[in-house]
């Protein structure tokens, strides 16, 4: 049996907090897309992304520093990602989210969902 570490517990909590954002049904055309946001050189690339409802975003940390993608209004938080780690979140409804890296507040991004 595997023991959960404190980090695992935090990630699980972050995932559970993001459940309201998780798509419960597929998009009408049945083709949800996963978009990649790379975290490198203390920046999100792309910093501003437009997606469709039901699509997912995978944040991939390629920096040696730990980073997060944290919504400014608390709607989602990836938790801190170490180099080589990634997390995927699915966004169900239309809206706009502004997010930042918790330890590096100048790292910012936006997600626009139609």
Please check whether residue 37 is in contact with residue 44, taking contact to mean a CB–CB distance below 8 angstroms.
yes
Distance CA 23, CA 18 (A): 10
CA distance 23 to 2: 29
- For the beta carbon of residue 98, count every other beta carbon within 10 angstroms: 13
Residue 67, annotated as binding a ligand: yes
Q: In this structure, how many other beta carbons lie within 10 angstroms of the beta carbon of residue 29?
A: 8
Is 35 assigned to a binding site? Answer: no
HSE on the CB side for 89, CA within 13 Å? Answer: 27
As annotated, the binding site includes: 67, 101, 104, 107
Binding residues for Cu cation: 67, 101, 104, 107
């Amino acid at each position: 049996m595997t023991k959960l570490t404190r980090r695992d517990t935090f990630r699980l909590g972050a995932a559970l907090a993001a459940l309201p954002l998780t798509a419960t049904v597929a998009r009408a055309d049945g083709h949800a897309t996963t978009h990649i946001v790379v975290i490198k050189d203390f920046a999100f690339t792309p910093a501003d992304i437009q997606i469709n409802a039901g699509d997912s975003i995978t944040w991939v940390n390629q920096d040696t520093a730990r980073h997060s993608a944290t919504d400014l209004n608390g709607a989602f938080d990836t938790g801190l990602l170490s180099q080589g780690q990634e997390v995927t979140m699915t966004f169900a409804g239309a809206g706009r989210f502004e997010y930042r890296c918790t330890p590096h507040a100048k790292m910012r991004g936006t997600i626009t969902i139609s």
